[in-house]
Structure 1
Amino acid sequence: MNTLPGLCALLLTLGCASATAEDWKLAKVEDGIKVYLNRSPTSQYQSFRGVALIKADVATLSHLQENLTIACKWLYACDDMRLLKVDGDSTFVYLTTALPWPANTRDMVLKVQTEQAGDGSVIRHLSAVNGMEPIVPGMIRVEQLQGVWQMVPKGERETEVTYQLQAEPAGDIPSWLANRFVIDAPMVTLKTLRAVAERQGGHAADSDLP
């Protein structure tokens, strides 16, 4: 999306909500990907931040986010993703998730607002929007979510990618699953995105968005 998935400008300056740099604690390092967690005083669910260095330029990574069919394949737990509308620099996306049993399927409407900096960085701010799509029977609607995707060029063909998220998943989520999600979501997402981007070899994917 020229603004996308947009997935997030996953919130930044890079503090999800009110988190400061000191709040984040390194929880896992694997294959060069770092996952940090933060406990919010206003939520029982932890925020996560994943950071990875990917051998692809910002344009390639942006296109992989903007093509929603492809984006849903590398975004952890994504079941379906479709464009609702584009309004200026904001894109609205409907997303459904397929979390492991015993969690029920969730859905949400995401507003993704994209900023581009003079150094070539791209930040996508992501937030849940309520009342835009009717409630679907059998789905649990996620109404509180904010996040950031940040992509900062670190060389001619290398980008530091940060994926950060704070969400209230609604409904009942077993503690073991919630604890697993905040590690798996950034780790699997960034690992898969890196594999797709580096395999693509710099050839940008077609975008579903105008």
Structure 2
Amino acid sequence: MGSLYRIALGLGMTVLVTGMAQAEDWKVAKQEDGIKVSLSEVPGSQYKAYQGVAIIKASVAKLRSLQEDVTGACAWVHECKSQKILKHEGDKTWTYTQFNTPWPVTPRDSVLQITTVEGADGSLTRNLLGQPDYIPEEKGFVRVAQVEGFWRMVPKGPNETEVTYQVHTEPGGSVPSWLANKFVVDAPFNTLKALRERAAK
């Protein structure tokens, strides 16, 4: 029975690992200026998940303070028009963001619940989860239907941090494929580049 159990467990783990590998099947889309952007298909979605990774010469604490300045962060988040905190409670913050979009696409807005998790190794993870029904929809904007992702900051030296920005969104409404394909590359690349520039000041 022990052998059968081990075989069954082994098969179960194989299935689990295979499933995770498919979900994490990242393909590099852009690697430039010290920033790597990768994309992954998401089962059941026509929109790809994006992942940006960069080494930034700043401490985790400094990067955290830049992110927690929600209004100021709009200056370095890709296509951010305005951003504010709706509520803060313990390790959770709810934010509202309006985004610019090129004509004729209707501008988007989103509500996020951000949960901050501190690692024993000095790392920091900020989990992002869309909350589209948290507040009523704004006139002139299409609410982003789904957001799931995270920011992860891992210290790599006294004043150096590896930053990973990974997100999958369902933008809601109609979005041309050319714009969706451009956004998933530009959003992580431009956001990380602008964050790095801001952290250097």
Match runs of 1:15-94 below 5 Å: 20=22, 23-94=25-96
Tell me which structure has the larger Cα radius of gyration.
2
* Cα distance change, pair 129–22 in 1 and its aligned pair in 2 (3 A): closer
The residue that corresponds to 1:116 in the other structure is: 118
Displacement of 1:142 after TM fit? 1.0
Query: 1:134 aligns to what?
Result: 136
1:20 shift after superposition: 4.9
Shift of 1:130: 3.1
Could you tell me which residue of structure 1 aligns to residue 167 of structure 2? 165
Q: CA deviation at 1:21?
A: 7.1
Alpha-carbon distance, 1:101 to partner: 2.3
Hey, what's the Cα distance between the residues in 2 that align with 1:141 and 1:187? 23
CA contact (8 A) 2:23 2:42 kept: no
**In structure 2, do the counterparts of structure 1 residues 122 and 87 end up closer, same or farther at CA, with 3 Å as the change threshold?**
same
Structure with higher RCO (Cα < 8 A, 6+ apart) = 1
The answer on whether the counterparts of 1:74 and 1:189 sit within 8 Å (CA) in structure 2 is: yes
CA contact (8 A) 1:128 1:145 kept: yes
Q: Structure 2: where are the runs of 5+ without partners?
A: 1-19
Rounded Cα–Cα distance in structure 1 between residues aligned with 2:104 and 2:48:
20
Q: Tell me the distance in 2 between the aligned counterparts of 1:191 and 1:19.
A: 28
Which position in structure 1 is the counterpart of 2:4? none
C-alpha distance after superposition, 1:31-73 (max 9, x if no partner): 0100000011210000000000000000110011011122100
CA distance in 2, matches of 1:79, 1:172: 20
Give the letter aligned to residue 167 of structure 2: L
Matches of 2:114 and 2:71, distance apart in 1: 16
**What SS does structure 2 have at the residue aligned with 1:173?**
coil
Instruction: Tell me, yes or no, if the aligned pair for 2:24 and 2:40 is still in contact at 8 Å.
Output: no
- Percent sequence identity over aligned pairs: 52
SS at match of 2:200: helix
- Structure 2 residue aligned with 1:104: 106
How many equivalent residue pairs? 182
Q: 2:165, 2:22 → 1: CA distance?
A: 16
C-alpha spacing 1:97/1:22, structure 2 compared with 1 (3 Å): closer
Give 1:143's match in structure 2, choosing from 138, 142, 145: 145
CA contact 2:83–2:98 (8 Å) conserved in 1:
yes
Aligned partner letter, 2:173: G
Q: Which amino acid aligns with 2:69?
A: N
For residue 184 of structure 2, the aligned residue among 164, 170, 182 is: 182
Give, in whole Å, the separation in 1 of the partners of 2:56 and 2:189.
Answer: 13
Contact persistence 2:23–2:40 (CA under 8 A): no
2: CA distance between counterparts of 1:30 and 1:70?
Answer: 26
With the length of structure 2 as denominator, give the TM-score of the two structures: 0.87
In structure 1, stretches of 5+ residues that fail to align are: 1-17, 200-210
TM-score for the superposition, normalised by structure 1: 0.83
Cα offset, 1:22, TM superposition: 5.1
Residue 121 of structure 2 aligns to which amino acid in structure 1? D
Q: Write 1 or 2 for the structure with the bigger share of helix.
A: 2
